[in-house]
Structure 1
Amino acid sequence: MPRFKAIIQYDGTNYAGFQIQKNGRTIQEELEKTLKKLNSGTRVTIHPSGRTDAGVHAVGQVIHFDMLHPRDAEKLRYALDTQTPHDINITSVEEVDEMFHARYMSTEKTYHYRVDRSPTKSPFKRLYTSHYQYDLDLDVMREAAKDIVGTHDFSIFCATGSSVEDKTRTVYEVRIEEQPDHELLFIFRGNGFLYKMVRMLVGTLLKIGGGRLPQDAIQRALESQDKKMTGPTAHPQGLYLMEVKYDKPLD
């Protein structure tokens, strides 16, 4: 059975997340429904690099799946792209070694989080940014973000419901950039991220920037696992899975 790797994009607004659920429309459900039609009526199970929650978007999500018979990769991409809903896009499809695994072989992920700092909420941004109109000290936030970089036990920044036992992750880079049109962009790059970890870190950085937590709150939270040193979980609408990297392609 040939194995295929695909890079996909999706607008998570109308979905209850990536993973199939009993109650709620999901990205996985829509993709598998289409793949079944393209696989002679036989179910195809897709495996993502990671799950995203309801309302979260993806620009570079990676999945893999097996088909019954060999297929031309570009024709498969086109068929999958044109037969899935308009808020899901298939960027690329390639045949890979049968040992390739989208989740277990990923070595680096990049997430973006977008905050709209306009004085009032925009109806056109409400599904793609998180609105935050209060004053922020960006210099303090950038200094606090340095405490995220490195290898840490991020248990305090993992939401309940995670089945992952080892909560140690390495974060390579955190940047906070001012963007046009009153937007703030958070960039997180690391070897992996826990359940709601990015959103919890953003919520904490915003609270630090607003003066409601000390600048060293993240350092103290990581050292003591003290929940009082963390902020609220930021809204899902501002989060984007941008890119997933692998050491080298398997051919």
Structure 2
Amino acid sequence: MGWLFVRYLKLTLAYDGSNYHGFQRQKNAVGIQQIVEKALSNLFDEEIKVAASGRTDTGVHAHAQVISFATSGTVPTDKIVQAMSSYLPEDIVVWKAEDVAADFNARYSAQAKRYVYRILITETTNPFERNYTWQLKKMPDLSLLQAAADIIIGEHDFSAFRSAGSAPVKTIKNIYKAEWTRIGAQELRFTIEGDGFLYHMVRNLVGAMVRVGNGKITLERFKEILASGDRRKAGTAAPPQGLYLDEVFY
């Protein structure tokens, strides 16, 4: 009996999440994972199941989602990007394909992630940006937004900013960067990097920080919410369409 040939691959994907129920495979809806696994299975002529760096919610986008998988298929690595374009819809793209060691796992090998959240300030809804930004009529105070972001730098228990009812996980995360920038006259962009993120954590943080920026809660109250560990105190999350998984670090 001959040896079974197996190789290990890492792919970097970009996608527009508007038409999908998140990344994760779904039973009664279409997730991006299902589309990608079907495309890979067709390309390699065998069933492929992938590990992903993390799940993104319905309507959330990715500039650089990372997946990994094993295959006995022989499609050359440098041909995968072009070949996958024939099997994927236009709103899902493979940017990069790499050979990796057998112990590489897109989720468990990740050391840090970066997310970006976009806010558009507009008196009337911009139909071309409605699936890609949170649209507000009033510009929040940028100095207050940044002051709130400075509070979350470092290691904290982010229980107050996790999704209500989510599964028990380690809630202490280390945030390396939290920065608000103004892009032109109408856009605000929040960039956050850390060693890990809880379910809905970025959206909950953005929602609370915007309330600080609009004067609805004080910086002191924001600190109290973080320290409380109580999700009920954090308020409504920012909507999903403004959020982008920007990069995963290994």
Q: TM-score of the superposition, structure 1-length normalised?
A: 0.94
| 1:13 Cα offset (Å) | 0.4
Percent identical: 39
What letter matches 2:203 in structure 1? R
* Residue 218 of structure 1: how far off its partner (Å): 2.8
2:95 maps to which residue? 91
1:31 correspondence with 2:28: no
Q: Measure, in 1, the Cα distance between the counterparts of 2:102 and 2:88.
A: 25
Question: Using the alignment, how far apart are the partners of 2:65 and 2:221 within structure 1?
Answer: 31
Task: Determine if contact 2:160/2:232 at 8 Å carries over to the other structure.
Answer: no
Q: CA deviation at 1:25?
A: 1.2
Aligned equivalents of 1:203, 1:120: Cα separation in 2: 20
| Paired residues of 1:114 and 1:183 also in contact (CA < 8 A) | yes
Is the contact between residue 217 and residue 229 of structure 1 (CA under 8 Å) also seen in structure 2? no
- Unaligned 5+ segments in structure 2 are 1-5
The answer for the alignment partner of 1:113 in structure 2 is 117
Say if 2:2 is the partner of 1:3. no
Within 1, Cα distance between the matches of 2:19 and 2:168? 27
- State the Cα distance separating 1:133 from its structure 2 match: 1.1
Q: How big is the shift at 1:72?
A: 1.1
CA distance in 2, matches of 1:86, 1:98: 31
Distance in structure 1 (CA, Å) of the matches to 2:244 and 2:175: 17
Question: Is 1:49 matched up with 2:53?
Answer: yes
Aligned to 1:249: none
Which amino acid counterpart does residue 133 of structure 2 have in structure 1? T
Letter of the aligned partner of 2:11 in structure 1?
A
Name which of structure 1's ranges 149-158 and 218-227 shifts more when overlaid on structure 2: 218-227
| Deviation at residue 231 of structure 1 after TM alignment | 2.9
C-alpha displacement of 1:219: 1.7
Query: Cα distance, 1:161 vs. partner?
Result: 4.5
Which of the residues 235, 241, 246 maps onto 1:237?
241
Equivalences, count: 245
One-letter amino acid matched to 1:57: H
Residue 30 of structure 1 aligns with an amino acid whose one-letter code is: I
Matched, 1:203 2:220: no
Which of 82, 85, 102 is matched with 1:81 structurally? 85
Inter-partner Cα distance in structure 1 for 2:153 and 2:117: 17
Cα-to-partner distance string for 1:211-243 (whole Å, 9 max, x where unaligned): 111112332112122446423100000000000
Relative to structure 1, is the Cα distance of residues 102 and 164 closer, same or farther in structure 2, using a 3 angstrom cutoff? farther
- Change in Cα spacing, 1:84 to 1:181, as seen in structure 2 (3 Å) is farther
Residue matched to 2:162: 158
* SS of match in other structure, 2:219: coil
AA aligned opposite 1:153:
D
Q: Unaligned 5+ residue runs, structure 1?
A: 247-251
Q: Deviations over 1:189-223 (max 9, x none)?
A: 11111101000000000111111111123321121
Alpha-carbon distance in 1 for matches of 2:188, 2:54? 25
**Partner residue of 1:72?**
76
Matched to 2:82, the amino acid is Y
Q: CA RMSD in A?
A: 1.3
**Residue identity matched to 1:60:** A
User: TM-score, normalized by length of structure 2?
Assistant: 0.94
- Letter paired with 2:213: G
Tell me how far apart the structure 2 counterparts of residues 76 and 169 of structure 1 sit (CA, whole Å): 35
Alpha carbons of 1:202 and 1:229: their partners in 2 closer, same or farther (altered >3 Å)? same
Give secondary structure in 1 for the equivalent of 2:12.
Answer: strand
Match of 2:20 in 1: 15
Aligned residue number for residue 3 of structure 2: none
Q: 2:143 aligns with which of 134, 139, 142?
A: 139
Supply the AA of the counterpart residue of 1:52. Answer: T
Query: Alpha-carbon deviation of 1:168?
Result: 0.9
Pair 161,33 (structure 1): closer, same or farther in 2 beyond 3 Å? farther
